[in-house]
Amino acid sequence: MAGAPRSLAVLGGSPAFATELPVGQMYFPPWEAYEEAFRALFDREYYTNHGPMAREAEARLAEVLDVEHALCVTNATIGLMMAAKALDLRGRVITPAFTFVATAQALTWAGLEPVFCDVSRTTHQMTPDLVAPLLDDSITAIHPVNLWGGTCGPSALEALARAGGVHLYFDSAQAFGCRTEGRPVGSFGALEVFSFHATKILGTGEGACITTNDGDLAERLRNIRSSYDIRSRVAVPVTTNGRFSEAQAVLCLLSLDEYEGRRRHNISIRDVYRAGLADVPGIDWCEPSGVETSNEQYAVCEVHAEVFAISRNVLLQSLKAEGVNVRRYFYPGVHRVPPYTDGGEAPSLPNTDHLCDTVLQLPLGALVTPRDADRIVELINEIHAGAEAIAHRLRS
Amino acid sequence: MAGAPRSLAVLGGSPAFATELPVGQMYFPPWEAYEEAFRALFDREYYTNHGPMAREAEARLAEVLDVEHALCVTNATIGLMMAAKALDLRGRVITPAFTFVATAQALTWAGLEPVFCDVSRTTHQMTPDLVAPLLDDSITAIHPVNLWGGTCGPSALEALARAGGVHLYFDSAQAFGCRTEGRPVGSFGALEVFSFHATKILGTGEGACITTNDGDLAERLRNIRSSYDIRSRVAVPVTTNGRFSEAQAVLCLLSLDEYEGRRRHNISIRDVYRAGLADVPGIDWCEPSGVETSNEQYAVCEVHAEVFAISRNVLLQSLKAEGVNVRRYFYPGVHRVPPYTDGGEAPSLPNTDHLCDTVLQLPLGALVTPRDADRIVELINEIHAGAEAIAHRLRS
């Protein structure tokens, strides 16, 4: 039997990977560093309420992101909710539907109505051309998302927002560490919100930060976050608990030390995918757009069924059977999810709908090696070669 | 100079305590147990998204609280926001103003209007007699707070809510571990929300849980909390990120093991205060009301200036000068804080206003010993004796 091709798992073979490979980042600091930091935390007996580690994390983040104010918060969803309230927005907000659902849900919590904007079929990002026709008197803000370790080209949107007299603030959940237009992402628009979820390159388990150069806005955000670290009593429409614990802060500081190493590891995996997938018919590898430097946080491709001979969903099913936990980001589009649709007609977002049907996220991060990526490329080729057998199997 | 009375710090003497004594609980698990748990967490490389520790914490909490569903969430503010959305409330909600501001703020985030109810001058709790006159067609729910390790007598409020055809759910942020009417607090009304903030006897740094016996409501809460651990696709008006991390869950499990020891330590401190303050004129020690068993989480007294010869605020200032970080809970009343007042006439809540002017929280918890409590009682007596000198000093 030596040399006989292994049967694909979707056709009844055993999985290529015994342990499931995750899509996310899942980077952790070394145990020794973490233990030392936590021992110090125990000695201080100070675990929350804007403690010394939280303050240090904020100072380091402000420096790294070259911005006046970095406010660490519980998670990016809470951060986005706080941002909308700090800006005191009322009315409708232009935002993409090709994003994680929290982008829109945060608007809903803040009493705002999202107006969904399509994205570029090439870059997957919102563009000024797509936003401009949606601007009218009911619009209070533009709220773009910087996707895939790339950006939507913030300064062109800044010009559009200025001309339209509306607020602009960014969901940069995926963009920590990226550079564009000569500086780090973090100081565009009125504010930006980064995610430090475990699936991000700078992970704190759960966590996030809000960055701004506007001192008044920073004060309002501090006041909304909690009663700790308020420097002056500014009026805010509502407050919440958006505090960042010392445990989160320790993870943040250790992750900052490791950031560049993580990025290089991601590059080594992405290099394998890029080279390996270049010759696979119907698989288009996507590079981050609108950045000089990416955080290299995602491995994104599009699956074109008419050329690959297999749909994105069947490729997903076939890879999952092999223990490769690929994901559809984002599916369905937010414009097709309650409460944004009542099941009736969704707004026409042809590029968003197309991408929701074709985009696939491949594993990278701490738990993935370049060798794993190589094996995944092989599997994609094997699945392409087995298209007929798979189609037959799934029909029966 | 031996035997000469020490000068009070407020009169220029040195503080009685070199290190400030906090009001809160600040209990931490032993480092060895925490280290072992965190080592396991690192081995698993699973830090969030409803992991094994979070699931175990929920199972233990449901057992301890004798309730079908215990859902761990990020913090109690987020839990209260989620609760209002899960109940799909619209309109006005009766709630006390003598509470932490998050009780009302969570209603505001959920698009609801608080109708502030006065509390008993004796127990500090909301009562059916005070709620009943506020019930009209605009009211959608009653939202009492169980204060000071006591309760507001939940079954009488259940009867009132049933008769009035309105929802009832409890802010039990301060009531973890309490028992009333033959069972643990946690299964009264539609749901209850507990806080696990570091200042609570069961602390997880930040954290909280929502308890309910209503399976449909639990499903809606899971769906609102995040896309993880949804067992069925139930429609919810909005979602958020209310996830409980594995770090929080580890702290929760270790704290559960230690709960009874912490409670006994608090009892030993409260015993000193109770006995020592009994003979101080104008200081009324407050016992938790409406419980068979209290969590012994607070040390509360009322300061009556006309008898004590010094106001609550001057006693607070004098004790703070000694390094005793006493607090005014709650000051000002929530009905006197924006956005609930525009600076104009606040609703008439005479008992609430009285308590906001007289109640003082004394230190207890992990960082306080019975000997410290003894010294604090001495200081209160010395301050009483020095009333004239202090008044003179503060005038000049």
What does the pLDDT read at residue B5? 60
CATH architecture observed for domain A31-254 = 3-Layer(aba) Sandwich (3.40)
* B111, B235, B241 member nearest A77 (Cβ): B241
Is residue B2 scored above 50 in pLDDT?
A: no
What confidence score (pLDDT) does residue A360 get? 98
Instruction: Please check whether residue B45 touches A, CB under 8 A.
Output: yes
Q: Buried b vs exposed e over B208-235: b needs ≥16 C-beta within 10 Å?
A: bbbbbebeebbbbbbbbbbeeebeeebe
Amino acid at site B284: D
pLDDT score of B230:
67
Alpha-carbon distance A325 to A15, whole Å? 12
pLDDT digits (tens, 9 = 90+) for B130-183: 999 999 999 999 999 999 999 999 999 999 999 999 999 999 999 999 999 999
| Residues in contact with A338: Cβ distance below 8 Å, sequence separation at least 6, in sequence order | B235
Residues of B in contact with A338 (CB under 8 A): 235
Q: Let me know: does B148 contact B288? Beta carbons within 8 Å.
A: yes
Torsional class of B251: left (φ above 0), alpha (ψ -120 to 50), beta (otherwise): alpha
Query: Cα-flanking dihedrals φ and ψ of residue A209, to 5°?
Result: -145, 155
Write down the ipTM of this complex.
0.94
Minimal CA–CA distance to A84: which of A45, A112, A119, A44?
A: A112
- Concatenated DSSP letters of B68-109: SEEEEES-HHHHHHHHHHHTT--SEEEEESSS-THHHHHHHH
Write the pLDDT tens digit of every residue in B299-342: 999 999 999 999 999 999 999 999 999 999 999 999 998 889 87
Question: Could you give the CA distance from residue A193 to residue B361 in angstroms, rounded to a whole number?
Answer: 37
Using a 10 angstrom Cβ sphere, with 0-12 exposed, 13-18 middle and 19 or more buried, the burial of residue B150 is buried
- pTM score, two decimals? 0.95
Query: What integer pLDDT is reported at residue A178 of this predicted model?
Result: 98
Is B77 an interface residue toward A (CB < 8 Å)? yes
Whole-number pLDDT of residue B396: 80
CA distance A199 to A393: 34
Domain boundaries, chain A: 31-254, 258-395
B247 closest CB neighbour out of A75, A111, A247: A247
CA separation, residue A108 to residues A115, A147, B224 (Å): 11, 21, 13
Question: Residue B357: pLDDT above 50?
Answer: yes
C-beta atoms surrounding B54 within 10 Å: 25
Question: B13: closest CA among B25, B4, B2?
Answer: B4
Cα angle value A94/A100/A102 (rounded, 5°): 75
From B13-27, B177-191, B358-372, the region with the lowest mean pLDDT: B13-27
Residues paired with A180 in a beta bridge: A183
Q: What pLDDT was estimated at residue A187? A: 98
Inter-chain residue contact A240 with B109, CB threshold 8 Å: yes
Computed from CA positions of residues B254, B170, B300, B182, in that sequence, does the dihedral angle turn out positive or negative? negative
- CB-CB: which of A26, A101, A206 is closest to B243? A206
Identity of the residue in A28, A42, A105 whose CB atom sits nearest the CB atom of B238: A105
Q: Provide the pLDDT confidence category of residue B204 given band limits of 50, 70 and 90.
A: very high
How does strand B359-361 pair with strand B300-303? Answer: antiparallel
Q: How do B359-361 and A167-168 pair as beta strands? A: unpaired
- Determine the pLDDT at residue B1: 38
Q: Are B48 and A105 within 8 A, CB to CB?
A: no
- pLDDT digit string (tens) for B267-306? 999 999 999 999 999 999 999 999 999 999 999 999 999 9
Q: Average pLDDT over chain B, rounded to whole?
A: 94
| Rounded (5°) CA angle A128-A131-A133 | 115
Dist CA A156 CA A179 (whole Å): 16
pLDDT at B126 over 60: yes
Residue of chain B nearest A199, judged by CA positions: B48
Tell whether A332 lies on the interface with B, counting CB pairs under 8 A: no
Query: In angstroms, rounded to a whole number, what is the distance separating the alpha carbons of residues B153 and B142?
Result: 13
Q: So what's the pLDDT on residue B333?
A: 93
B38-45 average pLDDT score: 85
By the 10 Å C-beta count (0-12 exposed, 13-18 middle, 19+ buried), A18 is classed as exposed
pLDDT, residue A1, reads 38
Read off the DSSP letter of residue A48. Answer: S
Q: What is the DSSP letter of A8?
A: P
The segments of chain A whose pLDDT lies below 50 read: 1-4
The confidence band for B48, taking pLDDT boundaries of 50, 70 and 90, is confident
Q: What is the DSSP string of B202-221?
A: S--SS-EEEEES-HHHHHHH
Q: Quick one: pLDDT band at residue B3, thresholds 50, 70, 90? A: very low
Contact present, A122 and A271 (Cβ < 8 Å) = no
pLDDT (0 to 100) of residue A3: 44
Looking at the complex, does the CB of residue B134 fall below 8 Å from at least one CB of chain A? no
Residue A5 has a pLDDT of 59
Element (H, E) at B283: strand B283-286
Quick check: A239 and B206 CB within 8 A? no
**CATH code for residues A258-395:** 3.90.1150.10
Q: Please give the Cα distance from B20 to A168 (Å, whole number).
A: 44
For an interface test with B, which of A35, A44, A193, A206 has the most B Cβ atoms less than 10 Å from its Cβ?
A206
Q: Which residues pair with A303 in a beta bridge?
A: A283
* pLDDT for A217: 97
List the beta strands (DSSP E) in A122-237.
139-142, 167-168, 170-171, 179-180, 183-184, 192-195, 208-212
List the alpha helices (DSSP H) in B204-298: 215-225, 246-277
State whether A109 and B74 contact (CB < 8 Å).
no
